[in-house]
Structure 1
Amino acid sequence: MSFTMNDTYDALPNPATQPAFYEGVGVKRLLAWVVDTVLIGTIAAIVASIPLFLLWFVFPLVFLVVSLIYRIGSIRAYSATPGMQLFNVELRAHDGQRLDGSAAALHTIAFMIASAFFIPQIASVFLMLMTERGQGLHDMFTGVVAINKPSRY
């Protein structure tokens, strides 16, 4: 029996037969990332200011912790960050289900690791633009796909 990448994602919408689930997701993810980064930066600035501005000396660490909590919490609860929700994008696991807590944590940590280095960042953006499911490196590693949120009607 042979194995192909498509065998892994059989429960997800097929990009060839259901392209509407993937149309514009790359651009929406970029815009969602901008919204989320602004929100995380704002929350981190508030948190850093609470203890008499002392946490401003370790602001990158505060930003990292706030980002982890923000991303893992929102993806666990909604299978999307607030920025993704704004643009009607949702993350789905390889079996087509919404992400649970462990999958949200793994995806967020993989995203942060890929974002920490220039080459994986560029490779992820390139893959999001070139692959049929629009997955970045961290998406492929965790088996996650971003799709346009299915309508409930």
Structure 2
Amino acid sequence: MHLADPVTQPQFYRDVAGKRLLAWVVDTVVIVILSLIIVPFTAFIGLFFFFGLAAIVSFIYRVITLTTGSATWGMRLMAIEIRDAAGARLNLGQAFVHTFGYTLSWAVAPLQLISVVLMATSNRGQGLSDVVLGTAAMNRRART
């Protein structure tokens, strides 16, 4: 088993970049809501470091959702999932490394810019983390 070829099987990658953007918006809303729910449990001190709290929540959310379904809730809503180079769903280690790469690219602006350009221009719609790890986001319905 391996990743689908974008030339011979383009249905696996059709509209993936746009779906990833919409999934990111959904995931951001979910992460902000989860972070706001946590704030009262910090005696509202979490408001002073809200962006740091949201970053931690984002990391945990992404690792858990990528491990359990190879897709965040936003990706599931958009019917896409991340697959490894063999075409399999991500395991805990792969989900952790993928999330670490995603977080690193957000921390270093040029890396995020490179990632966005790659998603918009590559045949598989891969971001920088995907290229490094050999993973790709694919249409879930096309896989079944």
CA distance in 2, matches of 1:118, 1:60: 16
TM-score (ref. length: structure 2): 0.95
Q: Does 1:20 align with 2:11?
A: yes
In structure 2, what is the Cα distance between the partners aligned to 1:69 and 1:14? 31
Unaligned runs of 5+ in 1: 1-9
Greater per-residue helix proportion:
2
User: Is 1:71–2:56 an aligned residue pair?
Assistant: no
Distance in structure 2 (CA, Å) of the matches to 1:73 and 1:30: 20
Structure 1 match to 2:22: 31
Which residue does 2:92 correspond to in 1?
A: 101
Q: CA RMSD in A?
A: 1.4
Structure 2 counterpart of 1:34, which letter? V
Task: Map 1:26-65 onto structure 2 (within 5 A).
Answer: 26-65=17-56
What per-residue deviation string (whole Å, max 9, x for no partner) do you get for residues 70-109 of structure 1?
A: 0000000000000000000010000110000000000000
TM-score by length of structure 1 reads: 0.89
What amino acid does structure 2 have at the position aligned with 1:29?
A: R
Instruction: Report deviation, 1:150.
Output: 3.7
SS of aligned partner of 1:147: strand
Shift of 1:51: 2.8
Cα separation, 2, equivalents of 1:51 and 1:130: 43
Ranges in structure 2 where 5+ consecutive residues have no aligned partner = none
Larger Rg: 1
**Equivalent-residue separation in structure 1 for 2:2 and 2:86 (angstroms):** 5
**Aligned partners of 1:125 and 1:151: how far apart in 2?**
23
Task: Read off the aligned partner of 1:106 and give its amino acid letter.
Answer: V
**Given the alignment of the two structures, is residue 85 of structure 1 paired with residue 76 of structure 2, yes or no?**
yes
Of the three residues 131, 140, 143, the one matched with 1:149 is: 140
**1:100 & 1:112 partners in 2: Cα distance?**
18
CA apart distance, 1:152:
7.2
Fraction of identical pairs, as percent: 41
Q: Could you tell me how far 1:151 is from its partner in structure 2?
A: 5.3
Hey, what does 2:109 align to over in structure 1? 118
C-alpha contact 2:12 2:142 (8 A) present in aligned 1: no
Distance 1:151 1:139, change over 3 A: closer
